[in-house]
Structures are given as structure tokens and as C-alpha cells.
Amino acid sequence: MAVFLSTYVNKIDRKGRVSVPAAFRAALTPVSTKGIVAYRAVKLAAIEGGGLDRAEDLSRRIDRLPELSDERDALSAILGELRPLDFDGEGRIVLPTDLVRHATLSDAAVFVGCGPTFQIWEPERFRRHQEEMRARIRERGLTLPPGETP
Amino acid sequence: MAVFLSTYVNKIDRKGRVSVPAAFRAALTPVSTKGIVAYRAVKLAAIEGGGLDRAEDLSRRIDRLPELSDERDALSAILGELRPLDFDGEGRIVLPTDLVRHATLSDAAVFVGCGPTFQIWEPERFRRHQEEMRARIRERGLTLPPGETP
DNA sequence: CCATTTAATCCCATGCTATCCCATACAGTC
DNA sequence: GACTGTATGGGATAGCATGGGATTAAATGG
């Protein structure tokens, strides 16, 4: 699966278009070179995105939850939020207005790599979020899960 | 995994390029000879770096945490900080401006081997830091744990 | 069912920046 | 003292982000 790293800031033009960073486009798997999927982040004022294959992945994972469970009902609602967004000839996407509102985007968008997914933030909001996360790691002494032990 | 040792001082040219010490490049594992990853050190005014395989490793370990968990949200913010930096034909990298600012670099960079990772410092800052660390060992009477006994 | 307006898509032009490529200096080695 | 590899500098080039029209598709109203 694709791995998104690093952070990029791109402009949103008056038509609502943004270039997806070339590095992110290059990271997409061959099955999803035509575009990405985007949806409102559940707990953050940001847009969450990933390759088109992520839709399938999410669907499969939710399908593992017990049927008729509240948990499943809630999480499967995410699937309805997924927006496939195709690139134009220059590797740009058009951000749907409701996603723009959810992330309070105006004229610039920060693309943040999160491994198998990425996030799209309003610059100032992202700066604050990043500081908060850094502080949380430092103060709570969060540590990484260990690597594989075969 | 790669092992970085010793200390090297290289110049930063007006384009922001620095040669990664040949010894460090040689220490990289075959899977990551194309470049390195760099990120702001969490507790120091320095840049931390390692092989590209380190990024994959981090991503894989964070991906083990359940999605939508607070812990994952915090730790995945680290991935956005990771900058994959490719070598040019001469083994140089270009340091992103925000990393340069974080480490207050200007025209020279000190590469310090720290085993599986390395650090990049502004020369004068590094000198002070080094003295401080030596003093801490002396004053607090810090000791090394013994080696393994198989 | 057609006409008119609106919105979305495609296509090309531009400036910038990062990347490539070659050229030089310098040091250690044989 | 010639040679190899490393560090460093600078010009040329290609890729990328961005902006603006033109063309097409969709939505709305008659």
C-alpha cells in the first residue's frame, strides 16, 4: 500500500483546485493513479485522504465487525462519506465545498503524510494541531509499538 | 540496520545543499541508498536523520495502532514531519528551509553519528551541546549498562 | 423537447524551483 | 608524484505548481 510522508503547502485557486503534491501522486499504487478518495476526518477539522484502493480497504475492515452491531452501523456511515476525486491533467483535484467548510480552508492547503493516508489542513489550524501533538508525545511520553518479532 | 559513527563537518552552499559524509552513505543499507529521511529532533535544536528504511519501519509500527485512536493521531503526526531527501549525483541533499531554521543552520553543518541515526547541528551549538552532555555524565555519575553474556 | 445559464472539465501558457550534469579543488593513497 | 574518491561550485534543464481561457457537460426554466 502507498506510504505518504512529509508535509507540503499548496495554494487553492479561485476555482477550488489544489495540486496534490507530486510525491503523494507518485506514492499512489498503480490501481489508483487516476485520483484519490477524500472524506471528513471524524475527530479533526481536517480532510482525510488516501488512494482509491483505500475505499475497498475500509469496506473490508468494516465488514469484519459483527453484523447488526452499533459499532458497525456507526463506522459504515464513513463509507457514505467517501468522495472519489479525479486528477485533472496537471494532477489537481477540486475540493468539494462541504469538505472545504469542514476543514475551514480558504486559499492554502497543507498536505500532511500520515503513512497509508494523508490529511489536508488549513495552515494555521495545522500549526496549532502539530504543536499539540508534539506536546502530547513529550508530556505523556508516548512510545512507538515495537517492530515485528518473527 | 545502518550504523553511523564519528563526526564530520560539511559546508552548506547557497542552494542549501550539503554533502552527506561518504562514510554515512556507505553505512546505508542497500534498500535505502537513494537518500535519507530527516526530521526535527523533538527535544533538541538539531536535525535527526536515518536511512529511508527507518521511515518505512516507523510507518509500519504506527499502522499497528487502531485507527481513530488518540494515540495513533498523536504518533502519526510524526510521519508528517519525516522528510525523505534524495541524494543528487554527488551524494548531496538539500535541507528544507524549516529544518534549517529549527537547527539554526547557516553555512556549515556538523554530522554526528548516533548509531542507527545521526544528527545535523550548527557547529557552535553542537560544541556547547557536546560539553553539556559530557558534564552531565561526569556530574550525575552516569554509567553504561554491561554487554550481553551469551 | 429545446434553450439558456451555470458549473465542471480540459487544454495550454508561465514562472519558479529542484534536479541533473559537468567542472574544479583538495586530500589521502599507492 | 600520479591517481582515486570526496567535497564543492555553478550553469543548464526538466518537472512541478499555478493561472486563465476555451470547451464540454449538467442543471434549470420555458
pLDDT class of A142 with cuts at 50, 70, 90: low
- The answer to whether position B150 is within a domain reads no
**What confidence score (pLDDT) does residue A149 get?**
47
CATH of the domain at B51: 3.40.1550.20
Residue A52 Cα distances to A85, B47, B54, angstroms: 9, 34, 26
The amino acid at residue B45 is A
Give the alpha-carbon dihedral of A105, A107, A110, A111, to 10 degrees: 90
- The answer to whether position B145 is within a domain reads no
User: Cβ of residue A19 near strand D, that is under 7 Å?
Assistant: yes
**What confidence score (pLDDT) does residue B150 get?**
62
- Protein CA at B21 to nucleotide C1' at C27, angstroms: 15
- Residue-wise pLDDT for A66-83, tens only, equals 888 888 988 888 888 899
Residues B50, B36 contacting (CB under 8 angstroms)? yes
Nearest residue on chain B to A23, judged by CA atoms?
Answer: B84
The SS3 of residue B18 is: strand
Asked if B82 and A113 come within 8 Å (Cβ–Cβ), the reply is: yes
Among B61, B77, B78, beta carbon nearest to A145 = B61
pLDDT in tens, chain B (150 residues): 789 999 999 999 999 999 999 999 999 988 888 999 999 998 899 999 999 998 988 899 999 999 888 889 998 999 999 999 999 999 999 999 999 999 999 999 999 999 999 999 999 999 999 999 999 999 999 888 887 776
Q: Is pLDDT above 50 for A150?
A: no
- The answer to whether position B147 is within a domain reads no
Partners of residue B76 in chain A, C-beta under 8 Å: 114-115
**What confidence score (pLDDT) does residue A85 get?**
94
- The answer to whether position A48 is within a domain reads yes
- The answer to whether position B1 is within a domain reads no
The SS3 of residue B119 is: strand
Continuous segment of H or E residues that includes residue B118: strand B117-121
Residues contacting residue B90 through CB under 8 Å, at least 6 positions apart: B19
- The answer to whether position A1 is within a domain reads no
Q: Is pLDDT above 70 for A144?
A: no
**What confidence score (pLDDT) does residue A74 get?**
87
**Dihedral sign for Cα atoms in the order A77, A78, A79, A83:** positive
User: Cβ of residue A86 near strand C, that is under 7 Å?
Assistant: yes
Number of domains in chain A: 1
Q: Which nucleotides of D are covered by protein (CB under 7 A)?
A: 5-11, 15-21
Could you say which DSSP state residue B125 is in? H
| Higher-confidence position of A92 and A145 | A92
Q: Which nucleotide is nearest to B109 (CA to C1')?
A: D7
The SS3 of residue B24 is: helix
**What confidence score (pLDDT) does residue A147 get?**
59
Q: Is pLDDT above 70 for A129?
A: yes
For the segment A3-26, the average pLDDT, to the nearest whole number, is: 96
- The answer to whether position A2 is within a domain reads no
**What confidence score (pLDDT) does residue A143 get?**
67
Q: Please, how many CA atoms are within 13 Å of residue A15, restricted to the half-sphere of its CB?
A: 7
- The answer to whether position A91 is within a domain reads yes
Q: Grid coordinates in use for A32?
A: 489508483
Asked if A5 and B80 come within 8 Å (Cβ–Cβ), the reply is: yes
Asked if B63 and A116 come within 8 Å (Cβ–Cβ), the reply is: yes
Q: Is pLDDT above 90 for A23?
A: yes
**What confidence score (pLDDT) does residue A146 get?**
62
Partners of residue B80 in chain A, C-beta under 8 Å: 5-7, 112-114, 119, 130
| Higher-confidence position of A147 and B33 | B33
**What confidence score (pLDDT) does residue A145 get?**
63
Asked if A145 and B43 come within 8 Å (Cβ–Cβ), the reply is: no
Asked if A114 and B76 come within 8 Å (Cβ–Cβ), the reply is: yes
CA A147 to CA B105: how far, in whole Å? 33
Domain that residue A122 falls in: 7-140
The alpha helices in chain B, defined as continuous H runs, are: 22-27, 52-62, 70-81, 97-102, 123-140
